[in-house]
Amino acid sequence: MTNVNQNGTPAWHLVLAWGFVGIPLAWGVAQTIANAMKLFQ
């Protein structure tokens, strides 16, 4: 059975869509934070 959220869109659609943009963004933010830490070294 497909897991459907309260509005009817399958939950995996939401996970896929948010993952598609969230993973690259999280990678970029992690890189930036790693660089920013040099300010405090």
Partner 1 sequence: MMTVVETQRSGGLFGFLDRSRTIAKPGFSRWMVPPAALCIHLCIGQAYAFSVFNLPMTKLIGITQSAPGDWKLTELGWIFSIAIFFLGASAAVFGRWVEEGGPRRAMFAAGLCWGAGFLISAAGVYAHHLWIIYLGYGVLGGCGLGLGYISPVSTLIKWFPDRPGMATGMAIMGFGGGAFIASPLSVWLMQKFATPSHVGVAETFICLGVIYLVFMWVGAAIVRVPAPTWKPEGYTPPVQASKLITTSDVFVYDALKTPQFWFIWAVLCLNVTAGIGVLGQASAMSQEMFPGKVTAVAAAGFVGLLSLFNMLGRFFWASTSDYIGRKNTYFCFFVIGTVLYALVPSTGSIGSVALFVLCFVVIMSMYGGGFATVPAYLKDMFGTRYVGAIHGLLITAWSVAGILGPVLVNYIREYQIDHGVPKAQAYNTTMYVMAGLLVIGFFCNLFIKAVNKRYHMTPDAETALAAAATAGRDVAASLTRKPANA
**Residue 12 contacts partner 1 per CB under 8 A:** no
State yes or no: residue 21 binds partner 1 (CB under 8 A). Answer: yes
Query: Phi and psi (nearest 5°) for 2?
Result: -80, 135
Q: For residue 36, give every residue at least 6 positions away whose Cβ sits within 8 Å of its Cβ, in sequence order, or none.
A: none
The only residue of 1, 2, 3, 35 in contact with partner 1, by rule CB under 8 A: 35
Cβ proximity of 30 and 22 under 8 Å: no
Least distance to partner 1 from the beta carbon of 11, Å?
A: 9
**Contact set with partner 1 (CB under 8 A):** 5-9, 13-14, 17-18, 20-22, 24-25, 27-29, 31-33, 35-41
